[in-house]
């Protein structure tokens, strides 16, 4: 409770901080985000910035530090990499509007977003060529239900695994943040020994299957989840609790949502964390990516392609039909060097459309993200046209060709509305 001697602005800060005790509170003050009390001491140490004082509270000086609002993402990156969560409190009105309510009225502020390791969307906070998974684990009768989402690309999947296979799945996903019912901790503690820094224990009530089913139906505006597949009660709980956490962190904004896709148990080879390390698939034993299998064979020219290749190596297919379909696609391009070269040239013009779309739908995008969408659609159109001229397309490529057509109108609208040399946000 704020002391009566606190200034109105400090009372407001303390009220917002009380609502988010597990986060560092970035409190917008004009052109800066400021932190106070213990948050300031911790942030100044991690960020290596000056710790000063501002005002007094309960007879003591108030520790304070701040970062420029225009460059705050660079500081957020350091805090997130240090395992911290950040609550972003913005000014919801300008000082002139506040004065209309009275000479001593404080500018209204509110937390507009919680920034956590598994809920990042900005390019500056993300690794371009790697997925950023938020994982949620729920109880099943004899196993565990695991849902995962990359908010930056809207990928959303769920499966069920034996407790003994949990660590291998988390290693495959390289989970950045893990949600877990507090009542489930003792059962899975050993499997999560390497993931404690990214663990977020949640009340078991948030995993109640009927509640989670209702949340999913509301999010997708459907009366039944059967159109998305057959899910167990535990899988519904994992998906619903994950979605609820995303809504909590994004506040009023939600990313575009693809329906959860159920991954059949056993569809991918399970490789445990120790084996992944020893095989040096994505990074070497010294922690460096250079020299790993991925670094040697990665010739992809798009960020999304790099993410896809990494997932293929970490989780090889086990179903013969899917393996054969992939091989037919590879053989098609191996045999057609000219076509392969043409498509690679078009792909070179394709930015990270998945992440640009998510930022736009969350209200965090700008003109450059719209240009990225235009460039991606243009590249897709050209790739589709190149495939249409080819003969003997495998079925998977034929489906891709058909999906790439029909965006000429949107391309023209974006081209006419946005200059190629536009700024990031204006």
Which pLDDT score, from 0 to 100, does residue 253 have? 66
- Residue 176 and residue 136: Cα distance in Å, rounded? 11
Do 199 and 240 belong to one domain? yes
- Taking a C-beta distance cutoff of 8 angstroms, is the pair 101, 63 a contact? no
Pick from 91, 115, 139: which residue ends a domain? 115
For every residue of 179-225, DSSP letters joined together read EEEGGGHHHHTTTTTT-GGGEEEE-GGGG-HHHHHHHHHHHHT-S-S
CATH number of the domain where residue 49 is located:
3.40.1170.10
**Pair 26, 144 in one domain:** no
For residue 261, the SS3 value is strand
82 and 171 housed in the same domain: no
> What is the pLDDT, as a whole number, of residue 423?
62
Q: What is the mean pLDDT of the chain?
A: 92
Q: Tell me what pLDDT residue 56 has.
A: 87
- Which portions of the chain are predicted below pLDDT 70? 1-5, 102-104, 252-253, 423-426
121 is a domain residue = no
Q: Residue 294 domain-assigned? A: no
Secondary structure of residue 268 in the 3-state scheme? strand
Alpha-carbon gap, residue 383 to 400, rounded angstroms = 10
168 lies in some domain: yes
Query: Is the same domain home to 208 and 148?
Result: yes
Total domains in the chain come to 3
List the strands of the sheet with 144-150, edge to edge. Answer: 199-202, 177-181, 134-139, 144-150, 155-161, 261-262
Domain boundary among 242, 262, 282: 262
pLDDT of residue 5: 63
User: What's residue 64's pLDDT?
Assistant: 97
227, with CB counted inside 10 A (0-12, 13-18, 19+), is: exposed
* Structural domain that includes position 377: 319-426
**What is the C-alpha to C-alpha distance for residues 99 and 106, in angstroms, rounded to an integer?**
8
Judgement on whether residues 81 and 151 belong to the same structural domain of the protein: no
**Domain stop point among 93, 115, 137:** 115
């Amino acid at each position: 409770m704020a002391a009566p001697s606190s200034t109105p602005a400090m009372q407001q800060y303390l009220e917002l901080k009380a609502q988010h005790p597990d986060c560092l509170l970035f409190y917008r003050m004009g052109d800066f985000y400021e932190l106070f009390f213990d948050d300031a001491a911790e942030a100044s140490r991690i960020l290596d910035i000056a710790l000063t004082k501002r005002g007094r509270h309960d007879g003591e000086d108030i520790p304070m530090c701040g970062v420029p609002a225009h460059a705050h993402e660079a500081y957020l990156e350091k805090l997130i990499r240090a395992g911290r969560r950040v609550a972003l409190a913005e000014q919801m009105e300008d000082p002139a509007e506040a004065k209309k309510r009275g000479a001593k009225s404080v500018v209204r502020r509110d937390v507009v977003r919680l920034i956590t390791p598994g809920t990042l969307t900005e390019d500056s906070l993300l690794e371009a060529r790697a997925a950023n998974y938020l994982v949620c684990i729920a109880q099943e009768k004899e196993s565990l239900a695991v849902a995962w989402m990359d908010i930056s690309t809207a990928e959303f999947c769920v499966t069920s695994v034996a407790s003994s296979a949990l660590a291998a799945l988390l290693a495959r996903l390289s989970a950045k943040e893990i949600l877990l019912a507090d009542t489930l901790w003792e059962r899975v503690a050993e499997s999560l020994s390497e993931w404690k820094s990214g663990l977020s224990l949640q009340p078991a009530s948030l995993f109640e299957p009927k509640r989670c089913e209702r949340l999913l139906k509301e999010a997708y505006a459907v009366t039944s989840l059967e159109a998305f597949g057959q899910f167990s009660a535990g899988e519904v709980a994992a998906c619903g609790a994950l979605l609820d956490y995303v809504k909590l962190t994004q506040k009023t904004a939600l990313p575009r949502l693809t329906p959860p896709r159920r991954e059949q148990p056993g569809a991918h080879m399970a490789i445990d964390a120790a084996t992944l390390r020893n095989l040096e698939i994505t990074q070497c034993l010294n922690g460096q990516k250079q020299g790993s299998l991925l670094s040697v064979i990665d010739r992809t020219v798009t960020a999304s392609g790099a993410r896809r290749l990494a997932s293929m190596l970490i989780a090889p297919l086990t179903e013969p039909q899917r393996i054969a379909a992939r091989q037919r696609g590879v053989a098609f391009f191996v045999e057609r060097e000219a076509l392969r070269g043409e498509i690679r040239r078009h792909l070179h013009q394709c930015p990270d459309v998945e992440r640009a779309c998510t930022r736009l739908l969350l209200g965090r995008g700008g003109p450059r993200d719209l240009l990225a969408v235009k460039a991606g659609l243009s590249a897709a159109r050209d790739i589709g046209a190149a495939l249409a001229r080819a003969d003997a397309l495998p079925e998977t490529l034929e489906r891709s060709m058909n999906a790439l057509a029909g965006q000429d109108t949107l391309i023209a609208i974006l081209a006419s509305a946005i200059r190629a040399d536009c700024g990031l946000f204006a």
